[in-house]
Structure 1
Amino acid sequence: MSETTDKPWLRYYPLDVPLTLAYPAMNVAQLLVDAAADYPRHEALDFLGRTMNYSELLGQCRKMANGLKAIGLAKGDRVAIMLPNCPQAVVAYYGALMAGATVVQTNPLYTERELHHQLADSGASVLVVLDLLMPRVEEARKDTKLERIIVTSLSDALPFPKSWLYPIKRRKEHPKLKVKYGKAGVLRWSSWLRRNASTAICEEVDAGKDLAMLQYTGGTTGTPKGVMLTHANLIANTVQTATWCVGLEQGSERYLAALPLFHVFGLTALLNQSVYRAGTMLLVPRFNLKMVLDTIRRRKPTVFPGAPTMYIAIMNDPDLDVNDLASIKLCVSGAAPLPREVQDRFEQLSGGKLIEGYGLTEASPVIHVNPVRGMRKSGTIGVPLPDTDVRIVGPDSLEPLPVGQLGEVAAKGPQVMAGYWGKPEDTAKVLKEGWLRTGDLGTMDDDGFFTIMDRMKDVIIAGGFNVYPREVEEILFEHPAVKEAAVLGVPDEYRGETVKAYIVLKEGWQASSMQLDRWCRDRLAAFKVPREYEFRTDLPQSIVGKVLRRKLKEEGGQP
């Protein structure tokens, strides 16, 4: 069987994307060392108006690395980072990698219980954290191996006069916040970093074996687990995704960093890719619409990786000007399905390309993306990246199913994880013969384009028929009054499950359950049409904008 028959998607690669790539066997932090050598004076970061060039960023990271070594960090020790998007998050990440540590990215929204689990499970000995989060940390650190806590504030990175005004604002909003520096291994970021040496340091690693990260996820088996990503995994996915984004120029692009860097999508598509391209990251602490639009107007980003909810929010802002998005060349959407209506409208507004991709934490995370040039298919996740083999398989075999048949997506490639930290049984369930069983249901067409129908656990079985939430959501999104939609199965005495839709309407628009029912019945088989509608002002979302169906079920009292 020829390669193009076995992998039909190769026919649709843009001409300037090689079928196979070379991946340097090195420490991920070498990406920054190389960028600083080639573009020392080029802006690396912009944080609400304060900038840092590559030479300055490298110096800060070296101080971080040398400081970690000075407090006794050994190669392979875990360093947890609990920060929003800010320069300190970048410095802590590359600095820890330079010291030979394994990074544990931690969501700042974690509760004490969630944080304790991650710190205890990873065995992290160092935590870099925002001062506002210290009350949670002090409780969560009990019965963990945490020895040092390095505490920073947003004021450490803000431009003047924001850096002067921020502490006043913080004291008003958090009058009881008092960090006890010098006790129980608590260090002040600004003074600690300042006194460390900035001599060159970048620990040598066995890229294929040494872990760069433990990235925690519910994963394909439900419980929170540390995904073991090697330096080779992260380098491979960075090179793959950067090469796929044809038309971007080295040392010239401006990346809008609204995705959180502690999420694996933001880590690869923003942090590592921007540094690999020697681009400028326009850091936004969180997705605040006004802050994001102000950043867009001020710095004119050219690349905007994001989630569908981000594009929806921007498009529906009443103050959006026709020229606000004109600088954007490319957007890569991930973390949740991209409705075709959103894709078309955003491209009309920006004049750039908005392409959908797909991945999961266990694959560093990107596996598929639609081509930037040439044929693409809306509603699909595109084709596998270079050196990535993907097939649709049945429940009991890794043999590929016939074209067009629904099954589980399985992937193999240099970006696939080494396994789950300390959980060999869970690893064995999803990694077989190098293939990662993703837990997602999908199909492949004759051209090698893949479509994700849904997570296996989210499929609705109504009266014996399978209903895929994404298909119903796509139809609802096409209705002119619908801003956001989520569909899930709810208990039904007669059908077992029935379809329920959660709807957020656009501002100033109205629609009734009856109107939406007629809309769906004209476009869907009767068993797929929602039987219940709930109108809401918003939908529960993850930090990257993925609708949390689990939260909707919990709110409805479902198991």
Structure 2
Amino acid sequence: MNVLGVEGENIREVDVTKINRVWTKFYDEGVRANIDYPVMPAYRILEDAAASDPDKICFEFFGTKWTYRQMKDASDKVANFLFDIGVEKGDRIVVALPNLPHYAIIANAIYKVGGIVVQCNPIYTEREIRYIVKNSGATRMFAFEGMYPRIRPLIEDGTLEKVVICRIEDFLGFVMSALFKAFLKKKMVGKVDIDRRKEVVFWQDVLKYERTDKRAEINPKEDVAMFQYTGGTTGFPKAVMLTHYNLVVNAYQVAEWDPRTTPSDVAVGCLPVFHVYGMTMLNSSAVLRMKVIPIPDPRDVEAILKAVHKYKATTFTGVPTMFISMLNHPKLSKYDLTSLRVCVSGAAPLPVEVKRKWEEITGGKLVEGYGLSEASPVTHCNPLYGLNKAGSIGVPYPDTYAVVIDEEGNILPPGEEGELAIYGPQVMKGYWMMDEETEKTLINGWLLTGDMAKMDEDGYFYIVDRKKDMIVAGGYNIYPREVEEVLFEHPAVAEAAVVGVPDPYRGETVKAFVVLRPEYKGKVTEKDLDKFCRERLAAYKVPRLYEFRDELPKSLVGKVLRRVLREEEAEKLKKKS
């Protein structure tokens, strides 16, 4: 059955407009298949909200409220600071913060001066931060104060010329700030001594600048707004280049997906905004004029439960491990979650039982979606109120085309497995300084996801396997080569291979297979390797399991076969069950 009308055609030649988007008939009432997106710089999302609803609360953070107008005015001050320190169009600026109100202000300020936001996880080690700074060519950075010991070496050697230190208490009133410093700061930040030097500026100093109406000239469809680092076959993170238009489009697509949302809705923001998934949720909230309750530490499950209960949150977007943690929390019954109307899970497969339990407790909907950094990131989602299919990532978003292809790029019919390819206005411009990788990944406008999938006759898609070796643990993407490179730095390690193995909580967890040099056998333990890795990798990338072997499975040309290791682990699991 020729459901799409183009089965058998090749994506290198197919006319996208002739594809039958069979899935649109399952869209919820009020969701448009095509949207007239504004062609504008990304900062206009906040500016439009400030113009139409200036006194609407944008954020509420530890009881402190900030309106859309206040957020816009603060971003104008930060923009003036950036102009003053010489930032020019195209300059890259690293932003490494947890979920704090600073983030939206800083990102919008960077957009206004024509700069590029370089996303960085604040728990990265010095080694990881240095790679991102060097690769992007950034010399300025906005950083969470707890990072200072890890970025100080980059300041001392001249890699970073200017760093703005941001603190949680920057957005607290006098009383709350005093209480935070007295009771919570040590727990959340730790003790950090920050040098008083010319390269270091504090957030409050930046906000002393006057507002500016000056704006760089932006071509939304061509100019890059953000670098989102992701992994790949090279073993080194690649910078995905997302344009202003990419970010605007995905924000409007997300906003479109729930036609029942109103400005009175409240979102709990616990998805890290240092990833474009969290940033897009933030942008879509501004499109809808919603109030957001930021959660600085997404691992603080009780803080999320408290926020939903206290603010009567109506929507919440997370990863499966967040929903699992909340359902398993010993104090779950203490909190009322029935205000939640709709929740979306992404970044990893959502267990059907988790969905069932969540909907039973909240009375609301929990649906699964799909996306990737290269698509800003959301491309698919199950309808919020209509037909949900167990195990499915749902249907493509408005203006988004998706097909399953074979190795030659031919479009496969429903039911057949192949690689998922996506075409739409949210697809990236390419990878920074990696033309060859870009050419392999973008074919005639189609984004090759590297995920193996199938589509049913209704146009619902299912992820069946990963073409790439990426590990998804707790919603975080982990690239084996990066972890292996660290293991290889240990003097005792002769060979190493890293794979993802099934984990009931994280979805997958990292397992390292290690061959020790003969002189170290019996002398180096799992604890030794764990300590070594923790000094060089973010905690979520560190292997949770180790297996010492005399040799690793290899191909005839000597390539380590991760596939064989995964198959062995799957066989062990089968025998246990």
Same fold (TM over 0.5): yes
Alignment CA distance shift 1:226-1:501 (3 Å): closer
The answer to whether the aligner puts 1:408 opposite 2:400 as a matched pair is no
Other-structure match for 1:177:
192
Question: In 1, Cα distance between the equivalents of 2:220 and 2:505?
Answer: 46
* Identical residues among aligned pairs (%): 39
Contact 1:116-1:144 at 8 Å conserved across structures: no
Summarize the Cα distance change of 1:28–1:501 in structure 2 as closer, same or farther, 3 Å threshold.
closer
Confirm or deny: 8 A CA contact 1:96 1:102 kept in the other structure: yes
Match of 2:288 among 274, 277, 293: 277
Structure-2 residue corresponding to 1:11? 25
Match of 2:35 among 1, 18, 21: 21
The Cα shift of 1:373 comes to 2.5
CA distance in 1, matches of 2:24, 2:151: 48
Cα distance 1:55–1:502, how it changes in 2: closer, same or farther (>3 A)?
closer
Is the CA contact 1:217–1:226 (under 8 Å) kept in the aligned structure 2? yes
> In structure 2, how many angstroms separate the alpha carbons of the residues matched to 1:76 and 1:260?
25
Match of 2:152 in 1: 138
Q: Contact (CA 8 Å) 2:365, 2:385: kept in 1 or not?
A: no
1:200 aligned counterpart, secondary structure? coil
Report the 3-state secondary structure (helix = DSSP H, G, I; strand = E; otherwise coil) of the residue aligned with 2:24: helix
For 1:192 and 1:504, the matched residues in 2 are separated by 42
Give CA deviations for 1:225-254 in whole Å, capped at 9, x if unaligned.
Answer: 1000000111111111110122111x2221
Alignment partners' CA distance in 1, 2:223 and 2:243: 6
Distance in structure 2 (CA, Å) of the matches to 1:552 and 1:46 = 37
In the aligned structure 2, how far is the partner of 1:33 from the partner of 1:294? 31
Tell me the distance in 2 between the aligned counterparts of 1:172 and 1:451: 45
Q: Residues 62 and 284 (structure 1 numbering): CA distance in 2 closer, same or farther, change over 3 Å?
A: same
Match of 1:206 among 213, 219, 225: 219
Change beyond 3 A, Cα 1:17–1:171 = closer
**Residues 284-363 of structure 1 correspond to what in structure 2 (within 5 A)?**
284-287=295-298, 288-321=300-333, 324-363=336-375
Q: CA deviation at 1:348?
A: 1.2
Q: How many residue pairs end up in the alignment?
A: 481
* TM-score, length basis structure 2: 0.78
RMSD of aligned alpha carbons = 2.9
Q: 1:381 to 1:10 in 2, by over 3 A?
A: same
Aligned runs of 1:141-540 on 2, under 5 Å?
Answer: 141=155, 145-168=159-182, 177-183=192-198, 185-194=199-208, 196-219=209-232, 222-249=235-262, 251-269=263-281, 271-287=282-298, 288-321=300-333, 324-395=336-407, 397-457=408-468, 501-503=502-504
Structure 2 residue matching 1:318: 3-state secondary structure? coil
- The residue type equivalent to 2:364 in the other structure is G
Distance apart, 1:162 and its partner CA: 3.2
Q: Which amino acid aligns with 2:438?
A: T
> How far is 1:556 from its partner?
7.1
Q: CA deviation at 1:94?
A: 1.3
TM-superposed deviation, 1:374? 2.0
Tell me how far apart the structure 2 counterparts of residues 319 and 197 of structure 1 sit (CA, whole Å): 47
Tell me, yes or no, if structure 1 residue 551 matches structure 2 residue 543: yes
Separation in 2, partners of 1:239, 1:499: 34
Q: Distance in 2 between matches of 1:233 and 1:212?
A: 9
**Contact 2:62/2:176 (CA < 8 Å) preserved in 1?**
no
Superimposed CA distance per residue, residues 521-546 of structure 1 (whole angstroms, 9 cap, x where no aligned partner): xxxxxxxxxxxxxxxxxxxxxxxxxx
Judge conservation of contact 1:420–1:426 (CA < 8 Å) in 2: yes
For the residues of structure 2 that align with 1:361 and 1:554, how far apart are their CA atoms? 29
Report deviation, 1:46.
1.0
Shift of 1:89: 1.6
1:32 maps to 46
CA separation in 2, counterparts of 1:36 and 1:272?
13
Gaps of 5+ in 2: 7-16, 474-479, 481-498, 507-538, 553-561, 563-577
Q: Greater relative contact order (Cα 8 A, min sep 6): structure 1 or 2?
A: 2
Distance 1:457 1:141, change over 3 A: same
Distance 2:102 2:501 in 1: 43
Q: Please, which moves more after superposition, 111-120 or 449-458?
A: 449-458
TM, length-normalised to structure 1: 0.80
Letter in 2 for 1:447: D
Structure 1 residues 17 and 219: CA distance shift in structure 2, 3 A: farther
Structure 1 alignment gaps of length 5 or more? 460-468, 474-487, 489-497, 506-546
CA distance in 2, matches of 1:260, 1:115: 17
User: Do the aligned partners of 1:48 and 1:159 also contact (CA within 8 Å) in 2?
Assistant: no
SS of the equivalent of 2:347 reads: coil
